[in-house]
Every structure is written in C-alpha cells, then in structure tokens.
Amino acid sequence: MDQPPDTNAAIWKSAEVIQNWAAEADDRERKRGEPRRLMAELLPFDQSEKFTFLDLGAGTGAASRGILAQYPNSTAILADFSPQMMGAGEREMQPFAGRFRYVEFDMAVGGWPDDIPTSVGAIITSLSVHHLTDTRKQSLFGEIYGRLAAGGWYLNYDPVTAPDRIVEATWQRVNEREDPTAAHQRQHRSHSEQERWDNHVRYMIPLAQQLDYLRAAGFEGIDVYWKRLENVIYGGRRPN
Ligand SMILES: C[S@@+](CC[C@H](N)C(=O)[O-])C[C@H]1O[C@@H](n2cnc3c(N)ncnc32)[C@H](O)[C@@H]1O
C-alpha cells in the first residue's frame, strides 16, 4: 500500500503554520515549565561551567533558553531545517544575544554541516525526533553519540505512542479532563489542523523502541528521567 506523503518539511516551512505556532507558544510553554527546567538540571555541569551544547530541531529555541538561563557561561548551537522557525527564533533568542547561533541542518537527510562542531559537551532534542522515520531516529542517535565529548549527555524531550489501547485511552481521558476543550478540538479539526496532527503522529513510536536505539548506539546511564502521560524525557551519556 502507498504511504501517504510526508508533509513535514512543507508544514514547518510554511509561514502560516509558523505564525500559528508563534501565537500559541506562550500558552504551550506555560504548561511545559517542569520538563524545560528538568532538561537543564539533568545536565551534569557546574552552574558557572563553560560548555557548548547543540539543540537539534531547535525551532524558536524554547529548550535552549532553559539551559542558557540555568548556565550563564554556556553557549548554544541551534540547528533546524526551517528558515521560518529560525527567523522567529532569532527574535525570541535576543535575551541571549552573543551566546547562540543558528545553523541550517535537515536531520532527516543527515550530512552534518561544517558549522556544527565535531565534539560538544551535550546534545538535546526537543519535540523534533518524532518527525523522523525509525531508520533515521536510529542512525541519528549514532551520529549524536559520535558528536559528544567523552562523558557528554544526550537528552530527548518528545511525545511517544502508547504501548496498548488501554494506556492510550487513559492518556486521552486525562488530557481531556485537564483541558475540557481538547475533545471538541480533536473532533472538529480544520483541514490544516488535521494536516498538522497527521504530521505530528506520522512517525511517533513507543518509548521502549527508542531506548533500544540508545542502547544500540552505545549510550550508558540510559533512563526515562521524566514522564507525564505521552511526554517523556529520556537520555544517556557517552562513556568517559
Ligand atoms: C514542535 S517544534 C519544536 C521546537 C523546539 N525544539 C521546542 O522544543 O519548542 C519541531 C521543530 O523541529 C523542526 N524539524 C522538524 N523536522 C526537522 C528536520 N528534518 N530537520 C531539522 N529540523 C526539523 C521544525 O522545523 C521545528 O522547528
């Protein structure tokens, strides 16, 4: 059977989608305080330590800002394939001017650009890996491992699919209880909202499979360091 077309690039490079994304950002980020803070705390650096980290699929930089705020001597390289997201990010990131730079990189294709250093202290991905095919998730984890300094950490904050229908129904029930508009929105999506949703779930997979990919890449200290319903932070470090 033919696969439906992959709309990921068209969606993330659309001015209209980015405008909607930016308009909803404050509301979304208010609900993400805990994982944003934890992502920074999980990194094993002293508060005043100088290090560079890489944020893949960085978008407008919400995950990076959490880390830059926590570690005043850190520097971020934000990689994304969407000029529109990077343009919006340049504005959002202004409070950290001089401590970040954007790099264009399509994670689905690979072939890392020369302006990404070959070795960094930490790598994060946030809400972007679920847009990659399984094969690409697996190879990307290997490439991330290869770009980390010895002892460097990789953390991924991302949604996962439920292992069975009972779990899925439980996640949906709780989400819809906490946001009474969610069920109505799910049942009455506009065409473009449905396209965004289809893109959101297209390559989303269960957690266990992703932890296997980390193990296969060689990481140690692998754990699910945070989890709330479908959203998780997992990661591991490159051995010393
Ligand atoms: C849901 S947003 C998350 C943005 C940001 N990391 C955050 O936590 O708010 C997904 C981001 O992944 C980027 N992205 C999706 N597929 C990508 C790819 N193949 N290569 C690079 N970036 C990609 C999009 O352009 C977008 O900025």
SS3 25: helix
The residue whose C-alpha atom lies closest to atom 9 belonging to ligand 1 is 62
E strand or H helix at 144:
helix 134-147
Length of the chain: 240
CA gap 235, 222 in Å, rounded: 5
Interior/surface letters 93-131, b for 16+ CB within 10 angstroms, e for the rest: beebeebbebbebebbeeebeeeeeeebbbbbbbbbbbb
Distance 81 CA to ligand 1 centre (A): 8
Distance 154 CA to ligand 1 centre (A): 17
**What pLDDT does 1 receive?**
56
Say how many CA atoms lie within 13 Å of 72 toward its Cβ: 1
2: pLDDT strictly greater than 80: no
From the CA of 132, give the closest atom in ligand 1: 19
Distance 14 CA to ligand 1 centre (A): 13
The 10s digit of each residue's pLDDT in 80-139 is 999 999 999 999 999 999 999 999 999 999 899 999 999 999 999 999 999 999 999 999
Strand 231-237 with 220-228, pairing? antiparallel
The answer to whether residues 116 and 79 touch, using CB atoms and an 8 Å cutoff, is: yes
- The yes or no reply on domain 8-237 and CATH 3.40.50.150 is yes
Residue from 6, 12, 104 to probe ligand 1 pocket by mutation (most atoms less than 8 Å from CB): 12
**Ligand 1 lined by 131 (C-beta under 6 Å):** yes
From the CA of 12, give the closest atom in ligand 1: 25
The 10s digit of each residue's pLDDT in 167-199 is 999 999 999 999 989 999 999 999 999 999 999
The 10s digit of each residue's pLDDT in 31-65 is 999 999 999 999 999 999 999 999 999 999 999 99
**What pLDDT does 110 receive?**
87
